[in-house]
Amino acid sequence: MLIRLVLPALVAILLAAGPAGAQMARTEAPAAPKDGTAKAVPLSRTDIQLSFAPVVKRAAPSVVNVYASHVEKRSTARASAMEEFMRRFFGEPESGRGPRGDRAQRSLGSGVLVDADGLVITNNHVIDNMNEVRIALSDRREFEATIVLRDTRTDLAVLKLKEAPKGLMPMPFGDADALEVGDFVMAIGNPFGVGQTVTQGIVSALARTQVGSADYQYFIQTDAAINPGNSGGALVDLRGQLVGINTAIYSQSGGSHGIGFAIPVGMVKAVVDAARDGASVVRRPWLGARIQSVTPDIADSMGLDHPTGVLVASLQPKSPADEAGLKRGDLILSVDNQEVADPEAFGYRFALKGVQGLTRFGILRGTARQTVTVKLAPAPETRPRDVLKVRTRSPFQGATLVNTSPAVAEELQVDFPAEGVAVQAVDETSIAGRLGLQKGDIIVAVNGVPVATTKDLDRVTRNTLNSWEVVINRNGEIMTSVFGG
């Protein structure tokens, strides 16, 4: 509820401030400190009229509303007598049903025009599991859109207007690496579905990790108010350029508490470029090495002033890391002169390099600093995946499994080589989901029989058994579980 009693009190305060304000205008400006960083009150009408409005006028037409839905077609048969009774006498809402009784799930978010031909970037979670998408421009015109690319690892998706009108105003990409803590930024989106809204704040932190909304943990943190519905909207600098896509908030109530997170524009650009090239997936470079963070003890043993960089823990033969001459124990400090402080920062910087050309790592080997050149290439598919969807009654019913390879390991973010069969997906409502099988698990053996391929697992699961002993490699930890038949 809006409380109008606030307004008279506010007016009284402003009026009371009038004489003081007038006296302030007649006072001479304070002398500037010796370091030249003077803070001063506004002394002219021009100073008082300073506004973010010009930036908003440039950026706002590029921000759109995204309406997504998943419609399940249902029979045209008349609703049951009980359904009709509930609707007529208890007011059961019909908003979730179409004209033929179709069931519909709906999602509301924001997006940003990044191309004059109608490409829109948004969060993948806005359109996740949806099959119909509409885009509303800032002038309220609406258009149907197709889903061009989904990238679950970054929580980004690219849409395209089916009949893009002329005169679209794409938002130019800015430079997230140029941001500093304390810089002004604005968030533009459609919070709570109330319509396009602009909020302003500062960059409150950079390179935030452990947010948990994507595989690549490297976020811009801002105190600009971001609320449900802002997902996929723009984080804009004072040049009106896109520096991030708003994707998550930290909140205990569901509302904004002044801690919002945005995906940096560098990652956004990589996903958009993949869509422009006609790709259905984003290809990222493969290193072929397992890395770990640097603890204070490791930093002290290496003579570092503080923990920084990532340590090479192991290498895969004939991988780009191996061919570049990296060795176990090397400390990677930078990627093309961009400092990396932890595995998340390294993963972000390396992922932006694409799958062609070369990149250079600054490393510390012993006490000597060196530079190594690493070839950029995608992870190879060393053997067919042979996808297996288990439908017979077993602990794997409802799971999708594939043969392991560097490409599969890269997609699932697991270490390779890993003997066994990888879990690519799990239906949470299935037996496998209820038993706790997880995406990325590696099935090593079943009832004492080693499982090297999906064909091995298929043979084992054809029989109905009273009990199942399953050996799983989960994040490098070997677990043995026994399940009933």
Q: Catalytic residue at 125?
A: yes
Rg of the chain in Å (alpha carbons) = 28
DSSP assignment string, 434-484:
HHT--TT-EEEEETTEE--SHHHHHHHHTS--SEEEEEEEETTEEEEEEEE
Of residues 115, 151, 155, 456, which has the active-site annotation?
155
Whether residue 155 lies in the annotated active site = yes
Selecting among 62, 107, 213, 231, the annotated active-site residue is: 231
Say whether 70 is catalytic. Answer: no
Q: Among 107, 125, 237, 256, which one carries the catalytic annotation?
A: 125
Beta partners for residue 70, in sequence order:
105
Q: Which of 106, 121, 113 is nearest to 138 (CA)?
A: 113
| Burial of residue 79, with CB atoms counted within 10 A of its CB: 0-12 exposed, 13-18 middle, 19 or more buried | middle
Dist. CA 304–CA 293, nearest whole Å: 14
Cβ pair 245, 156 in contact under 8 A? yes
CA pseudo-torsion sign 202, 206, 208, 211: positive
Task: Quickly tell me which residue has 């997230």 as its tokens.
Answer: 176
The label of the residue with tokens 């979730």 reads 96
Q: For residue 458, what are the CA distances in angstroms to 272, 400, 465, 478?
A: 39, 12, 14, 22
Q: Which residues are catalytic?
A: 125, 155, 231
